[in-house]
């Protein structure tokens, strides 16, 4: 029993964080916001050079063969930087699913090389992100996960998040590569991890603002009302993180209870990020209500991911079915069973 992030994991996470802080700046987000495609081949290439697409691809296919625990740590960094490129869906959701399927070596190799992008479609997630530009589509039919090549264009939906590119679902097709629910659990876990990263970024922005904005002759961060709002938000964020890690381990092990842990993680992360968004805008005051302040990019992503990959009702429903019904053993000593 050892509930700890290793030094290697911490080093990898810090490396990704530092890289993204350098290249994936708020200025970049603003430039993407005014571009037609809202995607950047340069940014994608940078992520490829960092080795991100291959993190969870097995070593035999040119990846690093890392675990879902690594995946949630990296997903949090993608959230923290507000990355909009479809790297999380392809590298952190699709790759580990395809690695469990037979006969996907070529696609996995292409993913690791940054040459394939996999869009994800599931009934619990009504809109498909980055369908345009995807080379492959994972979709669901009759409980099965299907993989198909993808090309062509579709009509872009208008998300409040200026950098999300959403499309209506298409007819599921392709060859079976596993059970449908695996896609949902993996994607919900990665969404949860991105949500805590988004929350951390909003916390940092609000804290910086509170340190630098003065009223009544002193920084507003010296006032207890402001301090206590931010401290309350920190508690929610910090207690969501171990839930996500616990869910990552359960899902990696294929534990029977993994879905419950994923739902718990998604609920905790969405609550934390949503609350952090409201706290951050309140801390910024009227500035927070402007498009000029960066905060909105992160806040809107948090709203989007909170509803994506199973909304609150969906995940509470899964907790309900396991916990209230008595199907899942609960109480002391059952944390890791």
Task: Verify binding: residue 5, another protein, rule CB under 8 A.
Answer: yes
- Here's the x/- map for another protein, 313-332, by CB under 8 A: it reads as ---x--xx--xx-x---xxx
* DSSP designation for 62: T
Ordered DSSP codes for 256-302 = TTHHHHHHHHHHHHHHHHHHHHHHHHHHHGGGGGSSSSTHHHHHHHH
* DSSP designation for 155: P
**Which residues in 10-69 contact another protein (CB under 8 A)?**
69
Closest distance to another protein from the beta carbon of 193 (Å): 15
Task: Verify binding: residue 114, another protein, rule CB under 8 A.
Answer: no
Contact 150, 134 (CB under 8 A): yes
Our CB check for another protein shows the closer of 35 and 335 to be 335
Strand partners, 153: none
Contact 96, 134 (CB under 8 A): no
Closest distance to another protein from the beta carbon of 321 (Å): 11
Task: Verify binding: residue 258, another protein, rule CB under 8 A.
Answer: no
Task: For residue 332, give every residue at least 6 positions away whose Cβ sits within 8 Å of its Cβ, in sequence order, or none.
Answer: none
Closest distance to another protein from the beta carbon of 30 (Å): 26
Contact 44, 38 (CB under 8 A): no
331: left (phi over 0), alpha (psi -120 to 50) or beta: left
Among 74-82, 97-105, 143-151, 227-235, the segment contacting another protein (CB under 8 A):
227-235
Our CB check for another protein shows the closer of 175 and 222 to be 222
Task: Verify binding: residue 156, another protein, rule CB under 8 A.
Answer: no
Among 31-39, 177-185, 207-215, 297-305, the segment contacting another protein (CB under 8 A):
207-215
Q: CA-CA distances (angstroms) from residue 201 to 77, 207, 322?
A: 9, 10, 33
Q: Which helix (H) or strand (E) holds 138?
A: strand 136-141
Task: Verify binding: residue 153, another protein, rule CB under 8 A.
Answer: no
Closest distance to another protein from the beta carbon of 225 (Å): 10
- Here's the x/- map for another protein, 161-200, by CB under 8 A: it reads as ----------------------------------------
Give the chain's length. 337
Q: Binding-site residue total for another protein (CB under 8 A)?
A: 48
Task: Verify binding: residue 94, another protein, rule CB under 8 A.
Answer: no
The whole-angstrom separation of Cα 174 and Cα 144 is 10
Task: Verify binding: residue 8, another protein, rule CB under 8 A.
Answer: no
CA dihedral of 134, 202, 66, 116, whole degrees rounded to 10: 10
Our CB check for another protein shows the closer of 148 and 316 to be 316
Extract long-range pairs of 51-55: CB within 8 Å, 24+ residues apart.
52/16, 52/87, 52/91, 53/87, 53/90, 53/91, 53/95, 53/111, 53/112, 53/113, 53/114, 54/91, 54/95, 54/111, 54/112, 54/113, 55/91, 55/92, 55/95
The whole-angstrom separation of Cα 218 and Cα 224 is 12
**The one among 54, 86, 221, 277 contacting another protein by CB under 8 A:** 221
Our CB check for another protein shows the closer of 254 and 333 to be 333
Tokens standing for residue 157:
């939906």
**Which residues in 236-255 contact another protein (CB under 8 A)?**
238-240, 242-243, 245-246, 249
**The one among 224, 254, 286, 292 contacting another protein by CB under 8 A:** 224
Closest distance to another protein from the beta carbon of 229 (Å): 9
Closest distance to another protein from the beta carbon of 36 (Å): 39
Q: Contact residues for another protein (CB under 8 A)?
A: 1-6, 69, 203, 207, 210-211, 218-219, 221-222, 224, 226-228, 230-232, 234-235, 238-240, 242-243, 245-246, 249, 264, 267-268, 316, 319-320, 323-324, 326, 330-336
């Amino acid at each position: 029993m050892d509930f700890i992030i290793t030094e290697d994991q911490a080093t990898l996470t810090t490396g990704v964080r530092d890289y993204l802080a350098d290249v994936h700046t708020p200025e970049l987000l603003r430039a993407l916001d005014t571009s037609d495609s809202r995607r950047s081949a340069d940014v994608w290439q940078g992520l490829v050079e960092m080795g991100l697409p291959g993190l969870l691809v097995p070593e035999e296919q040119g990846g690093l063969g890392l675990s879902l625990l690594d995946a949630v740590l990296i997903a949090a960094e993608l959230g923290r930087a507000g990355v909009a490129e479809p790297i999380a869906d392809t590298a952190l959701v699709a790759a580990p699913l395809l690695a469990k399927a037979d006969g996907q070596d070529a696609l996995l190799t292409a993913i690791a090389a940054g040459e394939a992008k996999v869009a994800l479609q599931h009934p619990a997630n009504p809109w498909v992100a980055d369908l345009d530009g995807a080379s492959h589509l994972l979709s669901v039919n009759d409980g099965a996960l299907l993989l198909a090549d993808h090309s062509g264009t579709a009509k872009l939906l208008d998300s409040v998040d200026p950098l999300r590119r959403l499309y209506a679902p298409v007819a599921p097709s392709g060859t079976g590569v596993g059970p449908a629910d695996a896609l949902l659990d993996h994607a919900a876990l990665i969404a949860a991890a991105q949500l805590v990263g988004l929350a951390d970024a909003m916390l940092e922005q609000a804290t910086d603002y509170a340190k630098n904005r003065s009223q009544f002759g002193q920084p507003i961060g010296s006032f207890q009302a402001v301090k206590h709002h931010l401290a309350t938000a920190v508690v929610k964020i910090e207690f969501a993180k171990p839930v996500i890690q616990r869910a990552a381990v359960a899902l990696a092990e294929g534990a029977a209870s993994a879905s419950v842990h994923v739902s718990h993680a998604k609920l905790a992360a969405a609550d934390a990020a949503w609350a952090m968004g409201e706290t951050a805008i309140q801390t910024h005051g009227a500035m927070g209500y402007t498009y000029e302040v960066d905060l909105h990019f992160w806040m809107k992503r948090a709203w989007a991911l909170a509803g994506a990959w199973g909304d609150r009702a969906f995940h509470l429903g899964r907790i309900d079915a396991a916990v209230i019904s008595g199907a899942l053993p609960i109480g002391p000593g059952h944390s890791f069973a």
